[in-house]
Amino acid sequence: MRIIDPIRISYKNLLAAKFRSFLTILGIIIGVGSVVIIISIGQGAQALILDQVSGIGSNLIGILPGASDEKGPPAAAMGIKVTTLKYGDLEALRGGKKVPEIEDAAGYVMGSQTAQYKGESLTVSFTGTTASYINVENTEIAEGRFLNKTEETDMSKVAVVGENIVRDFFLNEDPIGRVFKLKDQNFTVIGVFKSKGAAGFGTASADDSVFIPLATAQNLILGINHIAFIRAKAKSAELIPYAIANAKTTLRERHGIDDPTDDDFSVRDQAQALEMVKNITDVLRYFLLAIGAISLAVGGVGIMNTMLIVVNQRIREVGLRKAVGAKTADILAQFLIESAAISFFGGAVGIVLGVILSYAVYLIMQALQYSWVFIISWQSIVVAAMVSIGIGILFGMYPARKASRISPMEALRYE
């Protein structure tokens, strides 16, 4: 039998039951489309995060509360609240005596709170930080000034805001000297950041945030006495290994730790941070791909059910073909090709739909001013196509074997 014959017969049978074929194909469309979208969005999100992390500087060191192994993320990075870092730790690191390789360091606490101005309310992200933030993060002030060393500890109620806050909250009024309420405290605006765009991983964008003194945020807004994390700036990238070693020694002395396995903090450089973020995003991508695979499996079950119905409806046809000389292998090939055709067509539509929706996500993220990258690799397209065909063959095997074993005499007597 020529290979074109079962393909032609499969095409006619699919057209003869358009609605049933569409419902069967729909499961594969959703499954394959989901896989393409997940791969594209996962790679785009990973590229965005890694670009943000690498963009904050190659000579920065992150100190987070909570222990971790060298490859795993610290507990604080996974959303677990750890309170082992204090303001005194920050002071010891940036003093220049115990860790001379560190040029400066900044402490951070973060949250969101309702802000009020002239009767209008807006939920804003706020960052409590130190005067050293401006140096560590290489941020510039467009108008006014930033926090000073005295204000970071004396409970001053002053704030520096981003340009998006000026636009959305102060309605483009000159904000310098304006008084607004954050939670139940009145703050005076003393400065406006120059637009910087998206922030590094772990911090809020300066454009969309309100920055207030660290002690003020801790005591008057959050009611805590610990620091969420510390970011230190080494004098050069070459000094980072020495800075990390001395920082660990300093923190162990302050925390009374003799055994490094008992560390209640984690110190990472930029390369380690990149690897950690990559590992976390890879895990999320694989998890989402597993969900997409479940969708494909559901679509495969739909194909199997449909093909079983088709076999029962075409018993007389199978018997007649066998009576005029068709072999068991011919019947098996016929139903496998029909199953693969359904799956392949659904896969093709799913790929196109996935690419279109992925591009729509790209346009939306670009409109939101994120440096999102539209990534559709030919490998993912090939894999999606091969998987869709494989699903059709795998789930079509049982109905095809059942059809191929039908006896001609029993089939011709079947009513």
| pLDDT tens-digit readout, 363-411 | 888 787 677 778 777 777 777 777 777 777 777 777 777 777 777 666 6
- Chain position carrying tokens 């920050």: 90
pLDDT of res. 221: 94
Instruction: Quickly list DSSP for 186-217.
Output: EEEEEEEEPP--SPPTTS--GGGEEEEEHHHI
Highest mean pLDDT among 50-59, 62-71, 201-210: 62-71
Q: Which tens digit of pLDDT belongs to each residue from 127-162?
A: 999 999 998 887 889 999 999 999 999 999 999 999
Name the residue ranges covered by the structural domains of the chain: 4-52+277-413, 83-263
Q: Residue 178 in contact with residue 206, Cβ under 8 Å?
A: no
Q: How far apart are CA 99 and CA 247, in angstroms?
A: 6
* pTM confidence score: 0.58
Average pLDDT along the chain:
80
Q: Per-residue pLDDT for 318 more than 90?
A: no
Q: How far apart are CA 361 and CA 364, in angstroms?
A: 5
Q: Residue 161 in contact with residue 245, Cβ under 8 Å?
A: no
Residue 153's SS3 state is coil
| pLDDT range class, residue 171, cuts 50, 70, 90 | confident
Long-range Cβ contact pairs of 277-283 (< 8 A, separation 24 or more)? 277/49, 277/50, 277/53, 277/201, 278/46, 278/50, 279/71, 279/72, 279/73, 280/73, 280/77, 281/42, 281/45, 281/46, 281/49, 281/50, 282/46
Q: How far apart are CA 46 and CA 296, in angstroms?
A: 24
Compute the CA torsion angle 90, 197, 273, 246 (nearest 10 deg): -30
DSSP state of 237: G
Q: Per-residue pLDDT for 85 more than 90?
A: yes
Q: Residue 82 in contact with residue 88, Cβ under 8 Å?
A: no
pLDDT of res. 199: 47
DSSP state of 72: S
Residue 104, H or E segment: strand 102-117
pLDDT of res. 201: 45
Q: What is the mean pLDDT of residues 59-73?
A: 75
Q: How far apart are CA 70 and CA 319, in angstroms?
A: 66
Nearest to 266 by CA among 228, 236, 311: 228
pLDDT of res. 202: 46
Helices then strands, counting H and E runs in the chain, come out as 12, 10
Q: Which tens digit of pLDDT belongs to each residue from 230-285?
A: 999 888 878 888 998 999 999 999 999 988 888 889 888 766 666 666 677 777 77
> Phi and psi dihedrals of 67, rounded to 5?
-80, 165
